[in-house]
Structure formats: C-alpha cells, structure tokens
C-alpha cells in the first residue's frame, strides 16, 4: 500500500509541476523520480530477501525445536545467571511444569527438589570451571546420567547447555551382564566363549584350572590350542559342528579326555551351543565342560564290581552265569568246566585272621591266572570256591590244567598252612548237552575228591603247622617231645587205658601248637613279659583249640589243649575253671609242662635243678596245680634219674 501511495503522489506532483514549470520537469524532476523509483525497487527487493531469511530462520528454529522436543532425554539451556532460556518437551513432562512458567526463571520454580539440587550443583560447576561435567544421579530407584557443557551466548556471556538421560535400564543391563559374567567366572564348570573365527574371547577360572591356560594366555588364541581333546568316547572337537552347521542343538558329550597344557588328562562332559544376535545370526560359541574323572572312576568301579569279585579281581558268579550262556555255542566245543575249592581257608581265618585268609584267596587267583589262558573265564563263586570255563578244551586237557594248578599250590606256604585245592572237572562235547548240568557234574566231582583228600589234608596241615612252629623255635620242638613223653609215663603211672595214654601223649605233643601265631622272639621267652606280650601268649590256648577242632581226628584233644593253663584255684585262663572242672588231661599237662619249663633254659631264664622244681611244684599244689596229681608226678620223677 505504501508503494502505491508513494507512486500516486509522485504522479500528481509531476502533473502539477508540468503545468507551471515545463522546462524544470524535463531537466530535474524526471531524473529524480527515476532515481527514487530505483531506490524503492532496491528497498523492496531487500525487504523480500529479509522476509525470506526470516522465514528460513523461523522454519529452521521450528525444525530444531521439533527434533529437541522429540528427544526423550531432558534438554535445556541456561543463561549466565542460570535462568532457563530453552527446555524441550521431555523437560516439561518430567517436571510437570508449563514452558511459560520455566523460561526466564531459575530452578526454584521446579518441583522434585532433590533432583533439582543436583542439577544446580553441576550447572554452577560448569560456569565456575568453564568445562564439561558428566554426572550420575540415583534418585528413587532410578539412575540418570547428565552431560553439561559451557555455551557461548549472543551477548558474549557463558551459559549452560545440558542433556539428561534415564540410564536405569542400561545400568541394570550392565549389572545383569556383570552378574552373568561373574557367575560364569565363579561356577565350578569350565566355560569358554569363542567368536565366529574360533578365537577365545573369555575363559573362566574352572576352565583355566582344567586346561592349564591362564586367561591372559588363552584370550585371542584359537580354541583348538587351549581345548585339546583325545578321543575318549565322544567328539574330539565340540566347537566345529556349532560353527559350521546351519542348525545345531546343544548335545552333552560324555567321557571326552581333555589334555591340559602340562599333559595331565581328565575326563570331562562338555556341551557347545551357538551364541546368536538379535537377527538370529551366529556370532560365537559357548563351551561348558565339567570334570567327571572321579565320577567316571566311581561309575567304572560300580560296573567293575557288578561283574568282578572285589578281593581277587576275578569274575563273580553273576558274570560267570552270563558267560556260560554266551560261550555255550557249537564253535566252542568241547567246553570244559573246572570247579575248585581252596583247602584251609576257614582254618587260616580262625588261626591268623581274615587278612591272611584273604591272602590265601588272592594267591589262589594269581595261580589260576598264571596257568589259564586269556580266553578262559575264571570266576570266584563265593567263599573258597572257584570255577574255570575253558572253551575248546577236552577233558584230558582240563585234567592237565588241574595238575598244573595243584603243582603251583604245592609250592605256596602261607603262615604254616600248606596251600592246596580240591578240584573236579566235566566236559560238554555235544551241542545237545546242558552246560549247567556239566557245571553240576564238575562240582560234584570236586566235592567227592575233597572228601577223599580230607585225611591227607588234615595230616599235612597239622604237620606243616608243627613243622613251622619248630622251625621258629628248636626249644619248642624239644619241649613238645619231652612233655609228650612225660605225659604218657604219667598216664601209665595213673593206670590209664592205652587209648587215654595215646590221647595224653598227643595232647602233650600238641599242647602249644597255638604258638604258631607268635613271633620267634616271643616263643622263646618265658619270664619278664610285658602286658602286651603276655596277652599275645595267652591267645595260644584258644588258637590251638581252633586248629585241632578243625579236624575229626583231633577233636578229642581240643579240651585238654584249650584248658592246660587253667589253675586249681580258678585264676587261670582262658575260661577260669576251678578244681576238678578242669579236664584231668589238662591238669596233667599243666604240671608236666611247668616242670619241663623250669628245668630247661629259656632265652631269659636259667634252668633250675630237679630239687628246686619239685619244691616249687609242692608250693603251688592246691593253688596252681591239682595237689594229688602233683604228688604222683613227683614220685614219678624222683624214681627216674633221667628226668
């Protein structure tokens, strides 16, 4: 409008002037008007440009504000007096205050005073230090991160720009990841994380211990340098399949043999699984493995014990019964079965204890292994009974095996018990024969042979025990012979029948057979015994009883041997019998053996004279010895100068 008004005025002025001053109009007025019109045109162009620039700035500011308002983080600008110049919508929403009540004001207009106080402190620090300040706030269970920085204002002053973000989720995720990491590091199972290229990114303490590699040395290396497996029942490479197969399900691998850096070996269970990103892309592999060496040993031991005898290491009855079925095929004919029963096990246990009985059984097992073939099945059926299954073995060949076993047994002596074994065999030669009936035949044959061998076994066993006892002490051999002879003469003096004299002679000879359990030093010692030594010696009466009670031919001697250290006053051992409760043969042996001990040297006692020994017998008559039998014995020895 201004432009139109100015143009109209100039036209009116020009028309009027032309009427009165025609020459002037041509020379002065027209150039002026043209110049004025040009100025107006330039001014109009500049105004248009300024308007366009202003519109551009307005649009740009609106765009900036749109972006800042779209930001979820709190954004603000303060001037040099810490008054708000700008805040975004997130700031308004957070403090629940309208923009018009914030701009130009300080923080005092804002609620949430605890939060505001922290803002003010950092804002003041930015102004005082003219530097960026980064802080974390934890308020009402939320975590906030602020970044504040100095801003050059148009007036040349320094203001404060700020961005505040809610970092609670990120912090919690970080904490959760840290917890996961610490869990992986601290758990007892080994954990190794591998990237797409097969290089180790993480290894925990358990994996360090099992592989022998430290975290520093392992990270960055190919996993195959650290995780070295030798085939032991599972895959040798638990990672390859995961990295190179399109689909993979985590599968537990057992009994892998892991070789550590120092060469030590352990069995492990391991599982490998892919690590996937948000797009289901495979970005790595996690391997978890556990040391199962002890568990494997335990399981192997259980499996072993289910088929083996734990003492001898031979197969047990259960395995034998299954093996018989497996071996019972025509290709194995003829099949022979040998059944054996070790002699003297009970006696060995009774005399020397079960430890020595176990040694006898282990010795038997060693003999069987030495004689038999690797293809033969040797089993302990229980107690002292063994069985051998011999495929492709004739009856005569089985008899040859028995002979070799018996020969080996004849060379073994265990604590004075002559080792022996009674054996029988039977052979299946045709396919229609029942293998279990063959076993029964072999067992029946063994028992028949054992019955026939019993007398020889008894004689050999007792003679071997006595022989070993006398080898340990020549003094005991001489003592046994003298006591045996004196007991027989005492029986005659008392008018015993021949059968009773025989028993007295044999009981006198074997009365100390139980001393086989004593060491040579203790056998030859008579006096100045320690309590322990005395307790050891007192055992010999019971041990002698057990030995003689094991055989029918010596059963009638057992009571005399057991009670020959009882006293007339009841203070003896092992039963504490008194007076005539003590068997008469035992009372006679007690007097005779005491006299013989007194009149012969021992390792720590000089022999007494006959007269001194007689005096001691009389002094102890009625307390230690039967007084009537003492007088009969004294009459016997006084009438014989050889005694």
Mean confidence (pLDDT) of the chain: 85
Q: How many CB atoms lie within 10 A of CB 39?
A: 10
| Strands (DSSP E) found in 185-237 | 190-195, 200-203, 228-230
What is residue 7's predicted lDDT score, i.e. its pLDDT?
A: 44
Closest CA to 490 of 480, 498, 479, 501: 501
pLDDT digits (tens, 9 = 90+) for 565-602: 999 999 999 999 999 999 999 999 999 999 999 999 87
pLDDT level of residue 94 (50, 70, 90 thresholds): confident
Alpha carbons 471 and 609: distance in angstroms, whole number: 28
What is residue 1's predicted lDDT score, i.e. its pLDDT?
A: 44
Please report, in angstroms and rounded to a whole number, the separation of the first and last CA atoms in the chain: 173
pLDDT digits (tens, 9 = 90+) for 334-386: 999 999 999 988 888 888 889 989 999 999 999 999 999 999 999 999 999 99
- Chain centroid to CA 53: how far? 83
What is residue 463's predicted lDDT score, i.e. its pLDDT?
A: 87
Alpha carbons 327 and 61: distance in angstroms, whole number: 98
pLDDT at 10 over 50: no
Helix (H, G, I), strand (E, B) or coil at 578: coil
Dihedral Cα 527, 528, 533, 535, nearest 10 deg: 80
pLDDT digits (tens, 9 = 90+) for 463-477: 888 988 888 888 899
Burial class of 394 by CB neighbour count within 10 A (0 to 12, 13 to 18, 19+): middle
- Rounded to two decimals, the pTM is 0.63
């Amino acid at each position: 409008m201004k432009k139109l008004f100015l143009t109209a005025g100039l036209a009116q002025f020009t028309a009027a002037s032309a009427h009165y001053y025609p020459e002037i109009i041509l020379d002065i007025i027209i150039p002026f008007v043209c110049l004025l019109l040009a100025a107006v045109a330039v001014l109009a162009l500049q105004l248009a440009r300024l308007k366009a620039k202003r519109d551009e700035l307005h649009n740009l500011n609106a765009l900036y504000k749109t972006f800042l308002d779209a930001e979820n983080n709190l954004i603000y600008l303060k001037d040099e007096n810490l008054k708000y110049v700008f805040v975004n919508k997130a700031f308004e929403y957070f403090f629940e205050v309208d923009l018009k009540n914030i701009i130009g004001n300080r923080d005092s207009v804002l609620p949430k005073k605890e939060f505001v106080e922290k803002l003010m402190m950092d804002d003041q620090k930015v102004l005082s230090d003219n530097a960026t300040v980064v802080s974390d706030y934890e308020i009402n269970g939320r975590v906030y991160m602020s970044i504040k920085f100095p801003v050059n204002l148009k007036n040349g002053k320094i203001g404060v720009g700020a961005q505040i973000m809610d970092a609670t989720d990120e912090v919690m995720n970080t904490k959760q990841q840290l917890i996961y990491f610490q869990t992986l590091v601290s758990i007892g199972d080994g954990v190794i994380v591998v990237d797409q290229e097969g290089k180790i990114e993480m290894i925990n303490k358990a994996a360090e211990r099992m592989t022998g590699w430290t975290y520093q040395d392992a990270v960055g290396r190919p996993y195959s340098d650290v995780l070295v497996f030798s085939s032991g029942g599972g895959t040798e490479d638990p990672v390859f399949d995961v990295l190179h197969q399109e689909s993979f399900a985590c599968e537990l691998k057992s009994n892998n043999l892991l070789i550590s850096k120092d060469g030590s070996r352990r069995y492990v269970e391991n599982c490998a699984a892919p690590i996937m990103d948000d797009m289901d892309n495979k970005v790595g592999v996690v391997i978890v493995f556990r040391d199962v060496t002890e568990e494997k040993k335990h399981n192997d031991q259980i499996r072993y014990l289910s088929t083996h005898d734990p003492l001898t290491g031979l197969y047990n009855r259960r395995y034998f019964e299954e093996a018989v079925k497996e071996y019972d095929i025509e290709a194995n004919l003829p099949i022979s079965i040998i059944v054996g029963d070790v002699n003297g096990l009970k006696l060995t246990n009774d005399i020397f204890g079960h430890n020595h009985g176990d040694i006898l059984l282990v010795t038997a097992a060693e003999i069987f292994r030495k004689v038999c073939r690797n293809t033969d099945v040797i089993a302990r059926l229980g107690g002292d009974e063994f069985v051998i299954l011999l495929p492709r073995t004739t009856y005569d060949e089985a008899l040859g095996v028995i002979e070799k076993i018996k020969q080996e047994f004849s060379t073994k002596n265990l604590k004075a018990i002559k080792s022996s074994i009674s054996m029988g065999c039977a052979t299946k030669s045709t396919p229609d024969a029942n293998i279990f009936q063959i076993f029964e035949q072999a067992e029946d044959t063994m028992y028949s042979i054992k019955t026939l061998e019993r007398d020889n076994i008894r004689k050999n066993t007792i003679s071997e025990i006595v022989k070993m006892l006398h080898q340990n002490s020549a003094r005991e051999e001489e003592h046994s012979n003298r006591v045996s002879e004196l007991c027989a003469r005492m029986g005659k003096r008392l008018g015993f029948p021949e059968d009773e004299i025989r028993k007295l002679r044999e009981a006198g000879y074997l009365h100390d057979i139980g001393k086989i359990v004593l060491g040579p030093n203790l056998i030859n010692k008579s006096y100045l015994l320690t309590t322990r030594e005395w307790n050891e010696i007192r055992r010999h009466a019971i041990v002698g009883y057990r030995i003689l009670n094991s055989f029918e031919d010596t059963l009638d001697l057992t009571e005399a041997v057991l009670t020959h250290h009882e006293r007339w006053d009841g203070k003896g051992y092992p039963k504490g019998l008194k007076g005539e409760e003590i068997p008469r043969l035992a009372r006679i042996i007690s007097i005779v053996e005491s006299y013989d001990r007194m009149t012969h040297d021992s390792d720590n006692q000089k022999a007494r004279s006959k007269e001194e020994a007689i005096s001691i017998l009389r002094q102890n008559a009625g307390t230690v010895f039967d007084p009537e039998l003492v007088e009969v014995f004294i009459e016997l020895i006084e009438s014989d100068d050889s005694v």
